[in-house]
Amino acid sequence: MNSSLIFHIGLEKTGTTSFQHFCSEQGSTLEALGIYYPKKDFLFSGNNHRLFAAAYLDKSILDFVPAGCPVSHDFAVANLVEDIESGAYEKILLSSEHFSSRFSDAEVEKLARDFACYQPKIIVLIRDHYSLIRAAYSTSLNSGDRLTMADFLDLRLNPREDIPPVWRGIFYRFLRYRETLEPWIKHFGKDNVVLLKYQKGVNVVEEIISEVVGSRFSVPSAQQYSSNQSIDAGLMEYVRIFNTVTPYWGELYTAGALNYWGYVGKKRSNYISIMADAERPLLASAMDCLSEGSYQEKIDDIIALDQNWLALQGFDLDTNPPRKPKQDVSAVPVPADPRTSPPTFLNYLKVLDTINSLNDPRGMVIHTLQQAVEDSQHLLNKNQEVSNNFHQILDNQQELIRQTEARVRELEEVINEIHHSPSWRITYPIRIFGNLIKYIRKK
Q: What is the 3-state secondary structure (H, E, C) of the chain?
A: CCCEEEEECCCCCCCHHHHHHHHHHCHHHHHHCCEECCCCCCCCECCEEHHHHHCCCCHHHCCCCCCCCCCCHHHHHHHHHHHHHHCCCCEEEEECCHHHHHCCHHHHHHHHHHCHHHCCEEEEEECCHHHHHHHHHHHHHHCCCCCCHHHHHHHHHCCCCCCCHHHHHHHHHCCCHHHHHHHHHHHHCHHHEEEEECCCCCCHHHHHHHHHHCCCCCCCHHHCCCCCCCCCHHHHHHHHHHHHCCCCHHHHHCCHHHCHHHHHHHHHHHHHHHHHHCCCCCECCHHHHHHCHHHHHHHHHHHHHHHHHHHHCCCCCCCCCCCCCCCCCCCECCCCCCCCCCCCHHHHHHHHHHHHHCHHHHCCCHHHHHHHHHHHHHHHHHHHHHHHHHHHHHHHHHHHHHHHHHHHHHHHHHHHHHHCCHHHHHHHHHHHHHHHHHHHHHC
- The pLDDT assigned to 338 comes to 36
> Which residues are bridge partners to 283 per DSSP?
332
In a domain, 376, yes or no: no
Are residues 194 and 97 located together in one domain of the fold?
yes
Confidence of residue 175 (pLDDT cuts 50, 70, 90): very high
Among 226, 252, 273, the domain-final residue is: 226
Number of domains in the chain: 3
Q: Per-residue pLDDT averaged across 306-328, rounded?
A: 80
Among 208, 226, 244, the domain-final residue is: 226
Are residues 96 and 213 located together in one domain of the fold?
yes
Q: What is this structure's pTM? A: 0.73
336 has a pLDDT exceeding 50? no
Share above pLDDT 90 across residues of the chain, in percent, rounded to a whole number: 41
In a domain, 10, yes or no: yes
Q: Per-residue pLDDT averaged across 238-246, rounded?
A: 77
116 has a pLDDT exceeding 80? yes
More confident residue, 393 or 162: 162
- The pLDDT assigned to 368 comes to 54
Nearest 5 degrees, angle CA 108-CA 109-CA 112? 85
Q: Do 189 and 116 contact (CB within 8 A), yes or no?
A: no
More confident residue, 226 or 149: 149
Among 206, 226, 246, the domain-final residue is: 226
Are residues 299 and 282 located together in one domain of the fold?
yes
Are residues 401 and 281 located together in one domain of the fold?
no
- The pLDDT assigned to 334 comes to 43
**Domain membership of residue 430 as a residue range:** 381-442
Are residues 239 and 287 located together in one domain of the fold?
yes
Are residues 111 and 211 located together in one domain of the fold?
yes
Q: Per-residue pLDDT averaged across 81-98, rounded?
A: 94
Determine the Cα–Cα distance for residues 258 and 122; give it in Å rounded to an integer. Answer: 35
CA distances from 25 to 3, 38, 434 (A): 22, 12, 85
- The pLDDT assigned to 108 comes to 98
**Which has the closest alpha carbon to 5: 35, 42, 46?**
35
Are residues 138 and 188 located together in one domain of the fold?
no
Nearest 5 degrees, angle CA 155-CA 158-CA 163? 60
Confidence of residue 14 (pLDDT cuts 50, 70, 90): very high
More confident residue, 318 or 309: 309
Q: Do 251 and 370 contact (CB within 8 A), yes or no?
A: no
More confident residue, 130 or 338: 130
Are residues 358 and 402 located together in one domain of the fold?
no
Pairing of strands 193-197, 121-126: parallel
In a domain, 375, yes or no: no
Nearest 5 degrees, angle CA 306-CA 196-CA 23? 135
Phi, psi of 215 (to 5 degrees): -150, 165
153 has a pLDDT exceeding 80? yes
Q: Per-residue pLDDT averaged across 97-111, rounded?
A: 97
Those residues whose C-beta lies under 8 Å from the C-beta of residue 308, and which sit 6 or more positions away, are none
- The pLDDT assigned to 293 comes to 74
Q: Per-residue pLDDT averaged across 261-290, rounded?
A: 67
146 has a pLDDT exceeding 90? no
In a domain, 177, yes or no: yes
The gap from C-alpha 177 to its chain's centroid, in whole angstroms, comes to 20
In a domain, 200, yes or no: yes
In a domain, 319, yes or no: yes
Lowest model confidence (mean pLDDT) among 5-14, 28-37, 321-330: 321-330
Q: Per-residue pLDDT averaged across 209-236, rounded?
A: 83
Length of the chain as a residue count: 443
Question: Taking all residues of the chain, what is their mean pLDDT, rounded to a whole number?
Answer: 79
Determine the Cα–Cα distance for residues 51 and 372; give it in Å rounded to an integer. Answer: 27
Are residues 359 and 398 located together in one domain of the fold?
no
In a domain, 138, yes or no: yes
Lowest model confidence (mean pLDDT) among 41-45, 108-112, 127-131, 387-391: 387-391
Are residues 106 and 222 located together in one domain of the fold?
yes
**Which has the closest alpha carbon to 312: 132, 117, 181?**
181
Lowest model confidence (mean pLDDT) among 180-184, 250-254, 299-303, 427-431: 250-254
Range with top average pLDDT, 19-33, 227-241, 411-425: 19-33
Confidence of residue 13 (pLDDT cuts 50, 70, 90): very high
Determine the Cα–Cα distance for residues 272 and 280; give it in Å rounded to an integer. Answer: 13
